[in-house]
Amino acid sequence: MSVISSFNTVRRIVHGAGCIEKIGEEIRRCCGSRILVITDPGIKAAGVLDMLARVLEKTGVPASYFSDVEPDPKIEVVERSLEAARAFQPDIIIGLGGGSSLDIAKVTSVLLTNDGPIEKYFGMELVPNPGLPLILIPTTAGTGSEVTSICVLSDTRNHVKKGIVSEHMYARVVLLDPELTAGLPPRITAMTGMDALVHAMESFTGVRATPFTDCLNQEAIRLIASNLRIAFANGANLQARENMLYASCIAGMAFSNTQNGLVHALALAIGGKYHLPHGLLTAFICPWVMEFNMLATPGKFIAIARSFGERTDGLPVMEAARLSVKAVKSLLDDLSISYTLKSYDIHRESFPEIAKATLSAVRLISNNPRTVTEKDVVALLEANYE
Ligand SMILES: [Fe+2]
């Protein structure tokens, strides 16, 4: 039975090596006359912010910089970015960085045109007014945040992560320049690339998948299967970097419309307590959940196995589907990412608490192809402990 659904995404993507040089044209298209750039200290230290600042200087448009976004940003960071914005009075926001910086750029843009407190916007589509025009420039190939309408923030008082989902947070323009990702170290390349793969797989196998998201996700999985090892082994390979940037963006376009699933629900639950990087969490949880979910939609898992080059012809259905897990485990081995829970110093006593938090992520669990209970989650954690 078909359900009534919709597909939304950003209206413009400019891409290709060196495309950051074109930002002046994009600012003019958005009628920008005062720019606030939002980024993080790592991007500043790596010299990537200087690259953007040089191009912005040539445009002659006044710009101010807020570079205090931290990884796993807390709600308090938004208060500081808003302060910086109110002091400078921009009419356009540029986000430069990984998912955290882009998320803070998105939420800052809408909180400048919607009265606080921020708490009233946590949830789905609760932001009434459009924000300032946004230009988003990713410097990692992972989160796909440049094309999603979600911002995830840490609530440190309650040790949980909370999301704002709003169509007003879609960027006006996205710039995909692989040269900005060339300096990423191999470990970050591996973790962020795996996060992109999990986005594509959770969106592809989830109950809210549509023909629009299926075609995007299959292409994203194919690109990651054939480029992540290369980008990890040789970060200077610009073609592999470009393909990974396309893959994470394409997967982001899809999952923004479906949401993710059990891998992300578990990653948020474990991450809320143990503070491991998001990409690492989704990477090591991925094969466990694939095994669990496979019964619900084996055909999708066979398609994933094929995207990884596995030969599935003539095999019984479940045997063919299981090749997808074999392929992902082999990728994780090559990227030196362990998928046993014990490797990450997570204690068995916290399993019930993790299970409870996992089930509370309704936005994610409701897209999972297989029904999940707290007992299932504890069993998954036990089965993959060592
Ligand atoms: Fe993710």
The residue among 181, 212, 247 that closes a domain is 181
Q: The domain that contains 25 carries what CATH number?
A: 3.40.50.1970
Q: Say how many Å lie between the CA of residue 325 and the centre of ligand 1.
A: 19
Residue 198 Rama label (left phi>0; alpha psi -120 to 50; beta): alpha
Residues 116 and 194 in one domain: no
Helix (H) / strand (E) containing 128: none
Prior bond to 71 cis, omega within 30? no
Residues 196 and 315 in one domain: yes
The residue among 181, 210, 238 that closes a domain is 181
List, for residues 87-128, the tens digit of each pLDDT value: 999 999 999 999 999 999 999 999 999 998 999 999 989 999
Residues 162 and 218 in one domain: no
Residues 175 and 67 in one domain: yes
Residue 30 and residue 248: Cα distance in Å, rounded? Answer: 25
Q: Say how many Å lie between the CA of residue 279 and the centre of ligand 1.
A: 6
Q: The domain that contains 291 carries what CATH number?
A: 1.20.1090.10
Q: Say how many Å lie between the CA of residue 198 and the centre of ligand 1.
A: 7
Q: Say how many Å lie between the CA of residue 164 and the centre of ligand 1.
A: 15
Is the pLDDT at 253 greater than 70? The verdict is yes
Residues 174 and 206 in one domain: no
Q: Say how many Å lie between the CA of residue 220 and the centre of ligand 1.
A: 14
Is the pLDDT at 57 greater than 80? The verdict is yes
Residue 121 belongs to domain spanning: 13-181
Q: Tokens 């308090």 appear where?
A: 76
Residues 217 and 338 in one domain: yes
Considering its fold, how many domains does the chain have in total?
2
Q: Give the pLDDT confidence score for residue 274 in this predicted structure.
A: 86
Point out which residues pair with 138 in neighbouring strands: 97
Is the pLDDT at 1 greater than 70? The verdict is no
Q: Which two tokens stand for residue 75?
A: 């709600």
- Candidates 329, 297, 337, 82; CA nearest to 203 is 297
332 pLDDT band, cuts 50/70/90, is very high
Positive or negative: CA dihedral 145, 146, 148, 152:
positive
List, for residues 31-48, the tens digit of each pLDDT value: 999 999 999 999 999 999
Residues 107 and 131 in one domain: yes
The residue among 181, 199, 224 that closes a domain is 181
Residues 253 and 173 in one domain: no
- Candidates 141, 64, 67; CA nearest to 101 is 67
Helix (H) / strand (E) containing 49: helix 48-59
Q: Say how many Å lie between the CA of residue 283 and the centre of ligand 1.
A: 9
Q: Say how many Å lie between the CA of residue 249 and the centre of ligand 1.
A: 12
Q: Say how many Å lie between the CA of residue 204 and the centre of ligand 1.
A: 14
Query: What does pLDDT average to over the chain?
Result: 95
Residues 159 and 230 in one domain: no
